[in-house]
Amino acid sequence: MDAGQLALLLEVSQALQGPLQLKPALERALQKLESEGMVLRAAVVLRGDEGDLRTVAAAGAGFESKRARNELAEGVAARVVQSGRPAVLPALAPDSRREPARPDRSQTTQVCMPILLDGKPAGALCVELDDQEPGDHGAAQRFFGALAGIIAAALEAQRGIEEERRSLFEENRLLRQQLLQRYDFSNLVGTSGPMRQACEQIAQVAPTDTTVLIRGESGTGKELIAHALHYGSLRAKKPFVKLSVASIPDSLVESELFGYEKGAFTGAQTRKRGRFDLAEGGTLFFDEIGELNAAAQVKLLRVLQEHEFQRLGGTETIRANVRILAATNKNLEAAIVAGEFREDLYYRVNVFSIFVPPLRERKPDILLLAEHFLAKYSRQHRKAIRRMAAPATDMLMSHHWPGNVRELENTIERAVLTCEGGVIHGHHLPPTLQTAESSGTLLQTSLGEAVEQYEKDLILDALKSARGNRARAARLLCSTERVVNYKVRKYRIDWQRFRDRAAGPGGPGRA
Ligand SMILES: Nc1ncnc2c1ncn2[C@@H]1O[C@H](COP(=O)(O)OP(=O)(O)OP(=O)(O)O)[C@@H](O)[C@H]1O
Ligand SMILES: [Mg+2]
C-alpha cells in the first residue's frame, strides 16, 4: 500500500467515526475514493433486518440510477455476502453497459470484498477499477479489504449506538409509564371527608387548563396533588416542571423562569432556557408561590395575562403554552394586606383553589396512610413486616402530626428500618410520639418501664396472633404458658378480647 492509499484510508476511517450518520458518512467516503481517482465507481451493500440486501451508499457514474444499484445488490454483491469470500470480476454484466458515461468495459475490473461483523458477512464493498493489469489484483484486494474492515468497525459502533438509543428510548417510555402510574390520583391515599372532597376537586379540574392554587400546611401533600393534576390532564405526556421559589435566590428567579440570551449579562456565555421554555406544552408548578419577589410577580402576571414572555436580554417574544399550578402554605390574603403579594396576581392564580387539611383534622386517614407507607417501605427495604401492634397504632392516632403526612411517612420508614420482626411496636416509633400526653401509658423514663412496655407489646401481639389462646401465644414467644399467664396478670392484659368469637365457648379462645 502506498502513502497515498494509507492517507486515504485514514481519512475515510475518520469520516466514518465522525458525527455524521453512517449513510452520509459512507457516501462521502466513497465519493472521496472516486474523486481521488482510486475507483470508477464504488458502492456499499448491506444486509437489512429481514436479510434483504440493499445498496446503502454509492458513488460514480451510473450509480445514480436505482436500477444499477439494485443490479449490484442482486448480482455480485449477493454472491459475496452469501459466500463471505471476495470476488474479482474482469467485467460487468452485459446489460449494464448501456449506461451512459461509462468507460470501455474491457478495461474495468470489479472487486467486491465482504464486510464481516462478528465473522459473518453483513454486506459488501464493491468497486470498479480502471486499468488493472490482468492477473494482478492482490494489491487492490488488500487495500479494499482494509477499507471493508474499517466500514465493518464503523457499522459495529453504529449498531452499538442504535442499541443504546433503543434501550434509552425504552427506558424513557417505562419511566413515563411509571410516573403516570405513580401520580395517578388513585395513589392519593385517604377516605376522610376532606380528602374525598379534595379528590373530587382534582378530578373536576385536572383535565382543564385552569390555573389551580393548592393550599395547605407543610407536608400535607400539595406537591402530590400538583402531580395528580398534571398526570390527570391532556398534558400528561408533556413535561411537568417545578420551580421551588423559596429555594432560589431572589436575584435568580427571573432568569430561572424566563431564561436568558447569550450576553444578557456578564457571565451569560450561552443562551439558557427558562422553566417556561422547558415546560412548553406541559405544566409549570410554582411551589411556595407566596415567596415570589415583587419583580418576578409583575413578570409572572404578564405571562398569565398575555401568554407570552421574553428571555432576559432578548427581544423575541415567545408564546407560552403552559398550564400554571401553584402551592402555598402561607396566608396569601394577609400577604396582600402586608403589601408582600400583588392582589392582581392573587386573582390570576387563585382561579380554582384546593385546600388540603392538616392530617390531625382527618384522623381516619392516619391508619390508612400508615398502612400504605408500611407496605411501601417494607417492600423498599425488603422486610417482611405484616402489621402494626395495637399500642403503636394508638400512638399514631393520638399524635398531633405538626409535620403532617411527611412526618407520618418518615415515622413509618424509621420504624420499618428499626423493626427486627414482623410487627411494628410502640418502641419503634420516635420519642416525639412516646411523650404524647394523650397516649397516657407512654411517659417512660426508666429502662425498667421501657422494657416492661416492650414485653407487654410482645405479649399483646402474640395473644392477638393466637386469637387469645395463651398456650399458643406462649409457644409463639418461645416461653411457657405459666410465664405468659403470670405476665398477663401482671400487666392486666384483657386476653379474652382477642378470642375468636365465631369459635364460641370451647373454641380456640379457651386456654
Ligand atoms: N394522600 C396522600 N397519599 C399518599 N401519600 C401522601 C399523601 N399526602 C402526602 N403524601 C406524601 O407525603 C409526602 C409529603 O407530601 P408533599 O411533598 O406533596 O407535601 P407538600 O404539601 O408539598 O409539603 P411542603 O409544603 O412542605 O412542600 C410525600 O412523600 C407524599 O408522597
Ligand atoms: Mg411541597
The series of mean pLDDT values per 10 residues for the chain, 511 residues long, is 80 75 85 88 88 87 78 83 88 47 61 91 90 69 91 86 84 74 70 86 91 95 93 91 89 88 83 91 95 91 90 88 95 94 94 93 92 94 90 91 95 94 90 61 63 85 88 91 92 84 42 33
- Whether the full predicted model's pTM is greater than 0.75, yes or no, is no
Name the residue at shortest CA distance from atom 26 of ligand 1. Answer: 218
Q: Tell me how far apart the alpha carbons of residues 170 and 176 are, in angstroms, rounded to a whole number.
A: 10
Q: Tell me how far apart the alpha carbons of residues 445 and 448 are, in angstroms, rounded to a whole number.
A: 9
Burial class of residue 412, CB neighbours in 10 A (0-12, 13-18, 19+): buried
* Residue 354: its H or E element: strand 352-356
Q: CB within 8 A of 413, min separation 6: which ones?
A: 373, 377
Q: Is 222 in the pocket of ligand 1 (CB under 6 A)?
A: yes
Residue type, 452: E
Q: Tell me how far apart the alpha carbons of residues 365 and 68 are, in angstroms, rounded to a whole number.
A: 75
Alpha carbon distances (Å) from 447 to 238, 430, 450: 56, 16, 5
pLDDT value, residue 166: 85
pLDDT value, residue 134: 59
Q: Is 192 in the pocket of ligand 1 (CB under 6 A)?
A: no
Please say whether the beta carbons of 235 and 323 come within 8 A. Answer: yes
Q: Tell me how far apart the alpha carbons of residues 102 and 374 are, in angstroms, rounded to a whole number.
A: 79
CB half-sphere exposure, 427, CA atoms < 13 A:
16
CA of 221 to the centre of ligand 1 (A): 3
Q: Tell me how far apart the alpha carbons of residues 509 and 511 are, in angstroms, rounded to a whole number.
A: 6
Q: Is 291 in the pocket of ligand 1 (CB under 6 A)?
A: no
Q: Tell me how far apart the alpha carbons of residues 160 and 144 are, in angstroms, rounded to a whole number.
A: 24
3-state secondary structure of 256: helix
Q: Is 220 in the pocket of ligand 1 (CB under 6 A)?
A: yes
Strand 41-47, strand 53-59: pairing: antiparallel
Name the residue at shortest CA distance from atom 12 of ligand 1. Answer: 406
pLDDT value, residue 136: 66
pLDDT value, residue 481: 93
Q: What would the DSSP string read from start to end of 39-79?
A: -SEEEEEEE-TTS-EEEEEEESTTTTSHHHHHHHHHTHHHH
Ligand with smallest separation from the Cα of 223:
1
Alpha carbon distances (Å) from 302 to 139, 296, 345, 348: 73, 10, 9, 10
CB half-sphere exposure, 261, CA atoms < 13 A:
12
CA of 405 to the centre of ligand 1 (A): 6
Answer left, alpha or beta for residue 419, where phi above 0 means left and psi between -120 and 50 means alpha.
beta
Phi, psi of 367 (to 5 degrees): -70, -35
Q: Tell me how far apart the alpha carbons of residues 88 and 95 are, in angstroms, rounded to a whole number.
A: 19
Q: How many CB atoms lie within 10 A of CB 95?
A: 9
Ligand 1 atom closest to the Cα of residue 225 is 18
Please say whether the beta carbons of 404 and 220 come within 8 A. Answer: yes
* Residue 228: its H or E element: helix 222-231
Please say whether the beta carbons of 459 and 477 come within 8 A. Answer: yes
Q: Is 312 in the pocket of ligand 1 (CB under 6 A)?
A: no
Residue with cell 468497486: 127
Ligand 1: residue of 183, 230, 405 to mutate (most ligand atoms within 8 A of CB) is 405
3-state helix, strand, coil in the chain (%, to 5): 55, 15, 30
Q: Which of 74, 39, 86, 75 lies closest to 58 in space, CA to CA?
A: 39
pLDDT value, residue 508: 39
Q: What would the DSSP string read from start to end of 124-146?
A: EEEEEEESPPTT--HHHHHHHHH
pLDDT value, residue 91: 55
Q: Which of 4, 89, 355 lies closest to 212 in space, CA to CA?
A: 355
Residue type, 111: V
Ligand 1: residue of 240, 406, 409, 411 to mutate (most ligand atoms within 8 A of CB) is 406
CA of 13 to the centre of ligand 1 (A): 55
Q: Tell me how far apart the alpha carbons of residues 230 and 446 are, in angstroms, rounded to a whole number.
A: 51
Burial class of residue 481, CB neighbours in 10 A (0-12, 13-18, 19+): middle
Ligand 1 atom closest to the Cα of residue 224 is 18
Q: What would the 3-class secondary structure string for 8-23 be?
A: HHHHHHHHHHCCCCHH
**352-356: strand order across its sheet:** 240-244, 283-287, 323-328, 212-216, 352-356
Q: CB within 8 A of 414, min separation 6: which ones?
A: 428, 430
Residue type, 161: I
Ligand 1 atom closest to the Cα of residue 287 is 27
